[in-house]
Amino acid sequence: MTINDKTLENLSKLSKIKIDDNLRDKLKKDLNLTMNMIDKINKIDCDQIEELSHPIKDNFNLREDVVSEDINRESLQKTSNKTEDGFYLVPKVIE
């Protein structure tokens, strides 16, 4: 089994997702089924092949680095229900 309890715990930490105890077994089973399917790629010899990370070659259309519109802090912060004086509120980090 590729993904055991220890791996799942590590993945939970890395991805910062709390995993409920009642979900663990099902999740482990599904992840292992998926990884078994994915493992087919290990049988393919493609050492000499280049990686393809972007489907369209040579398409770099970076815009001029100029301000085109102002960011309205107030309207952006409306998406959070915990803000104060233009700052986002989080639980205390420094004691």
Partner 1 sequence: MNLETLTLQEQIDGLREKKFSSVELVENYISVIEDKEDLNIFVSNDFEKALEKAKKSDGSKKSQQDVPLNGIPMVHKDIFCTKGIKTSCGSKMLDNFYPPYSATVVEKLEQAGSICLGKANMDEFAMGSSNETSFYGAVKNPLNIKKTPGGSSGGSAAAVAANFSSFSTGTDTGGSIRQPASFCGIAGIKPTYGRVSRYGMIAFASSLDQGGILAKNIKDAAIALQCISGYDSKDATSIKVEVPNFSEDCESSEFEHVVGLVTDLINSFGDEDLSKNYGEAIERLEKLKIKTREIELPNLELSLPVYYVIAPAECSANLSRYDGIRFGYRAENVENLEDLYFKSRGEGFGNETKKRILIGTYCLSSGFYDAYYKKAQKIRNLISSDFVNAFKDVTSVMLPTTSGEAFDLGSITDPVEMYKQDIFTIPANLGGLPATSVPFGEKNNMPLGIQFIGNILEESSLLNISNKFQLGEK
Residues that bind partner 1 (CB under 8 A): 3, 7-8, 10-12, 14-20, 23, 26-27, 30-31, 33-42, 44, 46, 49-56, 59-63, 68, 72, 75-76, 78-82, 88, 90-93
Which amino acid, 84? E
8 Å CB contact between 35 and 11:
no
Sequence-separated (6 or more) residues with CB below 8 Å from residue 89: 82, 83
Our CB check for partner 1 shows the closer of 52 and 85 to be 52
* Closest distance of CB 82 from partner 1, Å: 7
